[in-house]
Amino acid sequence: MKNSHYRRVKKRSFHSTEFLIDGECGLYIEDYFHEMVSLERKRSERSGRPFLLMLIDIKEVHYAGEIKEAVKKICSALTALTRETDVRGWHEHNFVIGVIFTEVSNNDIEPIKKKVISGLNDARSIGPLMLEKTRVSFHIFPEEAAKGAKLPPDLTIYPDLAKKTPIRQKDLNLKRAIDILGAVLALIIFSPLFAVIPVMIKLSSKGPVIFRQKRIGALGAPFTFLKFRSMYSGTDENIHSEYIRKLIKEEAAYSGGEGGKVYKIKDDPRVTPIGKVLRKTSLDELPQFINVLKGEMSLVGPRPPIPYEIGNYEPWHLRRVLEAKPGITGLWQVKGRSKTTFNEMVRMDLKYIKERSLWLDLKLILKTPWSMLTSRGAY
């Protein structure tokens, strides 16, 4: 097989050699460059060292019909301005050139920006008219490491999440169909409880039957989360906010319980008597089937966090929010719940995201009723 645009480069994978580099300009092709951005993001999460992604937008050059000449000149300039360990590729083929500056420190970022901008401006081969048609932007990961995770995130650093291949889209469509069918069946089956529970809530305390709360959904999008109210109206969120902070930071946020540690607020004074029953049996979660019908949640996925929870996240924690739609049940709900630490919960979510399939979803859905009946890890 011959191709004048790409040359063969070895790729460490189970696949045979593939065309990974655009032979005309020496840039990695778009799909592989996105893989490298994803890999560098995960490396940065573990090492704590940031990386810098530079994007050179040449759309105006492309539309002016000067694309081949511009790419050659820009790539020639970048060769002199980047290190051998930096990665150059197409972030968007023929439109946006990307450069990953790897293994940089916070003190390196500004000097790198100045060096590259100055170098591009001084490159005589590019020319002032062509430079006027290019747009250069810089993106840092983690964006605000000192202030905790940030939402919405800079999605240019998450190109692998935005891209939907035909196979992946087919699975997502089937998962959505199962979500709709499952939510409708659940609302029909549990319809008697939707009549009984509101009466019990009203008799036990004043306030609305449905508790509405802002939560964070897929790709950091906020939505209104629904539950049967299990607390007294007008309660202070500071108790839970402080508990969450200690839980994430592992500052002894748990209470002693039968058989070991319990990572949950026990004997919470904000919870009503009927609320304790609803929480222990997870019946307070039933209105979330409406969230599923609206497409804000799935039957299976990570639990959606509260905004103030995100502020305490480490960069790697954020993947549980960005890489999957939140769900009513999941690995944590079936296997862990309040018996696990926060980091263990996140690892369970990431394990689900990595291994998710329709078969795994079905197994978790079938195991959920037993977890509800036995109230394992529920308080």
Q: Which tens digits make up the pLDDT trace of 198-253?
A: 999 999 899 999 999 999 998 888 999 999 999 988 877 887 888 888 888 776 54
Q: For residue 146, what pLDDT band results from cuts at 50, 70 and 90? A: very low
Same domain for 153 and 179: no
Rounded Cα distance between 263 and 296, Å, is 27
- Identify the weakest region by mean pLDDT among 98-102, 207-211, 342-346: 342-346
Same domain for 280 and 266: yes
Does position 377 have pLDDT exceeding 60, yes or no? no
Does residue 379 form part of some domain? no
Burial of 189 (0-12, 13-18, 19+ CB in 10 A): exposed
pLDDT digits (tens, 9 = 90+) for 300-339: 999 999 988 888 888 888 888 888 899 999 988 888 666 7
pLDDT digits (tens, 9 = 90+) for 3-27: 444 444 444 444 433 468 776 778 9
Same domain for 186 and 92: no
Rounded Cα distance between 91 and 330, Å, is 34
For residue 185, give every residue at least 6 positions away whose Cβ sits within 8 Å of its Cβ, in sequence order, or none.
none
Q: For residue 283, what pLDDT band results from cuts at 50, 70 and 90? A: very high
Q: What is the mean pLDDT of residues 166-182?
A: 87
DSSP element (H, E) containing 138: strand 135-141
DSSP 231: B
Count CA atoms within 13 Å of residue 288 on its CB side.
24
Same domain for 171 and 130: no
Same domain for 308 and 276: yes
Residue 8 has what pLDDT? 42
DSSP alpha helix (H) spans, the chain:
30-47, 59-63, 67-81, 106-122, 128-132, 159-162, 166-189, 191-204, 238-249, 273-281, 288-293, 307-310, 319-322, 331, 342-355, 358-374
Does residue 18 form part of some domain? yes
Residue 35 has what pLDDT? 92
Considering 68-82, 140-154, 218-232, the range whose residues carry the highest mean pLDDT is 218-232
11, 20 contact by CB (below 8 A): yes
Residue reference for tokens 């490159």 = 123
Does residue 1 form part of some domain? no
Same domain for 172 and 154: no
107, 133, 161 — which closes off a domain? 161
Kindly report whether the peptide bond that precedes residue 315 is cis, defined as omega within 30 degrees of 0. Answer: no
Residue 1 has what pLDDT? 37
Residue 292 has what pLDDT? 97
More confident residue, 377 or 373: 373
Q: For residue 129, what pLDDT band results from cuts at 50, 70 and 90? A: low
Does residue 138 form part of some domain? yes
Q: For residue 170, what pLDDT band results from cuts at 50, 70 and 90? A: confident
Helices 273-281 & 191-204 angle (0-180, nearest 10) = 150
Residue 199 has what pLDDT? 95
Rounded Cα distance between 68 and 91, Å, is 16
Does position 254 have pLDDT exceeding 60, yes or no? no
Task: Tell me the residue range of the domain where 127 lies.
Answer: 6-161
Same domain for 119 and 212: no
Same domain for 239 and 175: yes
For residue 287, give every residue at least 6 positions away whose Cβ sits within 8 Å of its Cβ, in sequence order, or none.
210, 226, 227, 228
Same domain for 230 and 336: yes
Residue 305 has what pLDDT? 93
Q: What token pair was written down for 100? A: 């990953």
Same domain for 257 and 244: yes
- At residue 204, what is the residue type? S
Q: What is the mean pLDDT of the chain?
A: 82
Q: What token pair was written down for 148? A: 């905790």
Q: What token pair was written down for 199? A: 């009466």
pLDDT digits (tens, 9 = 90+) for 28-71: 999 999 999 999 998 988 888 889 999 999 888 766 667 777 78
More confident residue, 124 or 61: 61
161, 193, 215 — which closes off a domain? 161
Does residue 333 form part of some domain? yes
How many structural domains does the chain have? 2
Q: What is the mean pLDDT of residues 81-88?
A: 91
Same domain for 137 and 230: no
CATH of the domain at 148: 3.30.70.270
129, 161, 193 — which closes off a domain? 161
Does residue 267 form part of some domain? yes
Same domain for 150 and 19: yes
Rounded Cα distance between 289 and 368, Å, is 14
